[in-house]
C-alpha cells in the first residue's frame, strides 16, 4: 500500500548577488494515498515543480520531509518514476531500448526486458514504432515512450511535471485519455503537476490548488466524477461547476502574481 507523506516541506533558494533569498514553498503538509491520482494546480512560479522535484529526490527541502512508505526521500530512486515536460529520451536508443533502460540498469534479463517493454509499447499505442529513434517520433510519441519507460520499472508512485504542456491541444487530449486509461487499469499512485484547469479535473481524483509564491496549499478539492472517464465528461454540469470554482481560485492567485510583477 503506497503512501506519500509530505510533512512541513518548505524550500528557500539561497540569495544570488544583488538578490534576496527566494522563498519558493511555505511549509506544506499533504498525504497521497495508495492508488490516488492527485493533480497539483497553481499559477506560474508557485513552486509546483519544486515540490515534485523534492518528492523525486532531485532537490532537497530547506525544512520538512517527504516520506514514501515510511522511508524519508533523500535522493532519486527506482520507487519513483519521473516524467518531465521536456523530452528526455536517450537519442541513441530506440523506443524499445529507452523503455527497457531502467530494467537493464537493474540487471533484469534480456528476455524479461523485452517482454515488459513490448507490453508497455502496446499499452501506450506505439506498436510498429519499437525500433524507431526518438528523432523520428512526434512530441506525443516521445512522451508516450517516456511514460512507458517510467511505468516499466513498476515504481510505487508516478510523478509527472506538466508532461503534456508542449503538445498541441488535440494531442494533449489524446495523451490525457491514454494516461487516465492506464491509471484506471493499473491503479498506480500518481502525483501530476499542471497549470491547465481542465486537465487537473479530468485526470485527478483530487485537485490541490497552490497559492502564488511562496507556494502553500490554498485548497484541496475532491473530484467526484465517475470512471471510466472520456472527453465527453468535460461538458457535464458537474465538470463545468468544478471548473468554475477552480478558475476563481487560480484567477485570484494569478492576480497576486501580476500585482507584484
Q: Tens place of pLDDT for every residue, the chain, 261 residues?
A: 678 999 999 999 988 877 788 899 999 999 999 999 999 998 888 899 999 999 999 999 999 999 999 999 999 998 999 998 887 899 999 999 999 998 988 888 989 999 999 999 999 999 999 999 999 999 999 999 999 999 999 999 999 999 998 888 889 999 999 999 989 888 889 999 999 999 999 999 999 999 988 899 999 999 999 999 998 999 999 999 999 999 999 888 777 766 655
Residue 26 lies in a domain: yes
Cα–Cα nearest to 197, from 40, 28, 37, 84: 40
Residue 257 lies in a domain: yes
Note whether 181 and 229 are same-domain residues.
Answer: yes
Q: Which three cell numbers stand for residue 251?
A: 484567477
Last residue of a domain, one of 154, 189, 206: 154
Last residue of a domain, one of 114, 129, 154: 154
* Number of structural domains found in the chain: 2
Note whether 16 and 96 are same-domain residues.
Answer: no
Backbone phi, then psi, for 163, in 5-degree steps?
A: -65, -20
Residue 165 lies in a domain: no
Note whether 177 and 49 are same-domain residues.
Answer: yes
Rg (CA), the chain: 19
Note whether 209 and 242 are same-domain residues.
Answer: yes
Decide the pairing of beta strands 4-13 and 22-32.
antiparallel
Note whether 178 and 243 are same-domain residues.
Answer: yes
Residue 162 lies in a domain: no
Backbone phi, then psi, for 24, in 5-degree steps?
A: -85, -40
Residue 97 lies in a domain: yes
Cα 8 to Cα 256: distance, rounded to the nearest angstrom: 24
Note whether 229 and 251 are same-domain residues.
Answer: yes
Last residue of a domain, one of 98, 120, 154: 154
Note whether 121 and 47 are same-domain residues.
Answer: no
Backbone phi, then psi, for 4, in 5-degree steps?
A: -110, 130
Note whether 42 and 62 are same-domain residues.
Answer: yes
Distances (CA, A) of 261 to 13, 195, 209, 218, 255: 19, 19, 21, 21, 10
Note whether 6 and 135 are same-domain residues.
Answer: no
Note whether 112 and 216 are same-domain residues.
Answer: no
Amino acid at each position: 500500500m503506497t503512501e506519500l507523506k509530505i510533512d512541513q516541506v518548505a524550500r528557500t533558494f539561497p540569495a544570488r548577488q544583488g538578490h534576496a533569498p527566494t522563498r519558493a514553498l511555505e511549509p506544506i503538509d499533504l498525504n497521497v494515498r495508495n492508488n490516488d491520482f492527485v493533480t497539483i494546480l497553481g499559477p506560474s512560479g508557485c513552486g509546483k515543480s519544486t515540490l515534485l522535484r523534492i518528492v523525486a529526490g532531485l532537490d532537497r527541502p530547506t525544512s520538512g520531509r517527504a516520506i514514501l512508505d515510511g522511508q524519508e526521500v533523500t535522493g532519486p530512486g527506482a520507487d519513483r518514476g519521473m516524467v518531465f515536460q521536456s523530452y528526455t529520451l536517450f537519442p541513441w536508443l530506440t523506443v524499445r531500448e529507452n523503455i527497457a533502460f531502467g530494467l537493464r540498469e537493474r540487471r533484469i534479463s534480456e528476455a524479461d526486458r523485452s517482454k515488459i517493454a513490448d507490453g508497455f509499447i502496446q499499452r501506450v499505442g506505439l506498436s510498429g514504432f519499437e525500433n524507431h529513434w526518438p528523432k523520428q517520433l512526434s512530441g506525443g510519441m516521445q512522451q508516450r515512450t517516456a511514460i512507458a519507460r517510467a511505468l516499466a520499472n513498476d515504481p510505487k508512485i508516478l510523478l509527472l511535471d506538466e508532461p503534456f504542456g508542449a503538445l498541441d491541444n488535440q494531442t494533449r487530449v489524446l495523451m490525457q485519455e491514454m494516461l487516465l486509461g492506464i491509471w484506471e487499469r493499473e491503479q498506480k499512485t500518481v502525483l501530476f503537476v499542471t497549470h491547465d484547469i481542465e486537465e487537473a479535473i479530468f485526470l485527478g481524483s483530487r485537485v490541490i490548488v497552490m497559492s502564488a509564491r511562496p507556494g502553500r496549499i490554498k485548497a484541496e478539492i475532491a473530484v467526484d466524477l465517475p470512471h471510466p472517464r472520456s472527453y465527453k465528461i468535460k461538458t457535464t454540469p458537474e465538470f463545468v461547476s468544478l471548473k468554475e470554482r477552480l478558475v476563481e481560485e487560480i484567477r485570484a492567485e494569478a492576480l497576486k502574481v501580476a500585482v507584484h510583477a
